[in-house]
Amino acid sequence: MARPYDPGPKQFVFGAGDGADEGLRVSVEDPQEAYVAFSEFFHGRDSDAYSIEDEPAGQSLVLMPGRGLIARIKGKENPRVEYLKVDGGNRYMPSAMLFFENGHAGLDRFGQWFSDPADLDMPPEARGAARAAAITTEAAAVGEVARIWADSGIVDPSDRYYVFFDAHGADEDRADRAVLLKLIAFLGLERVDAPPGAADGEVWVRTEERLDAEFARWA
């Protein structure tokens, strides 16, 4: 059960398109209720952009499926805008849930944020390598590996291996794969060859206790 907002209820404004409309105002008791309301809003429209605004906190999240981007905004008078390039459509709703749970800060580990949109034009592998280089502690590395696994990973039927990017091709998830490969080396994890017939984008890693608890939290 989601932890209720305190104080609550909490108000959000959902928007779509260019923001010309006033948007949908919702009042919710907890993050799960907010997520359900936004999911209905998101899936009930066909738009290039969707926004979630927490007016009292001066924070917003903008999902831009038409451009493959997510933006987070903090501040009212001098807003700080940061952008994240996403490689797949499965990233948008999880980002919304993190925003409902912990606002702007809840997205700190969701990916590599850039204040200059021009940086988003770097090749995915370069973006991934830059993000991995910024992770300097074991705890942060384990959290990032868990985040990547939660997006598209499974545990193989033998319970001996974590499978990242399950059934994905090598042309998908290129930035996250670059991050993962760097962090596998940083953490000293054991990568193994994928079995015959596995998709060419999969990464197989032997399970270990350091990751189990964090993976369970993200599952």
Mean pLDDT, rounded, for 152-165? 94
* Amino acid symbol at 189: L
CA proximity to 156, closest of 143, 169, 146, 166: 166
Residue 30 parent element (H or E) = none
Q: Please, are residues 169 and 199 in contact by the beta-carbon 8 Å criterion? A: yes
Decide if 5 is inside a domain.
no
Q: How many domains does the chain have?
A: 2
Q: Residue 83: which of 103, 60, 102 has the closest Cα? A: 60
- For the cut 90, the answer to whether the pLDDT of residue 216 exceeds it is no
Q: Is the pLDDT of residue 152 over 60?
A: yes
Same domain, 164 and 71: no
26-35, 118-127, 149-158: least confidently modelled range? 118-127
Q: What domain range is 55 assigned to?
A: 10-121
Mean pLDDT of 87-100: 90
Last residue of a domain, one of 121, 152, 185: 121
Q: What percent of the chain has pLDDT over 90?
A: 66
Burial 67-77 (b: 16+ CB within 10 A, else e): eebbbbbbeee
**Are 115 and 186 found together in one domain?**
no
Among 121, 151, 176, residue at a domain's last position: 121
Give residue 89's pLDDT band: very low, low, confident or very high (50, 70, 90).
confident
115 and 15 together in one domain? yes
Is 30 within the bounds of a domain?
Answer: yes
Q: Do 172 and 137 share a structural domain?
A: yes
Q: Is residue 60 part of a domain?
A: yes
Average pLDDT, the chain: 91
**Max Cα–Cα distance, the chain, nearest Å:** 56
Q: Is the dihedral of CA 105, 98, 32, 155 positive or negative?
A: negative
The alpha carbon of 150 is separated from its chain's Cα centroid by a whole number of angstroms, namely 9
Report the alpha-carbon distance of residue 50 to residue 66 in Å, rounded: 10
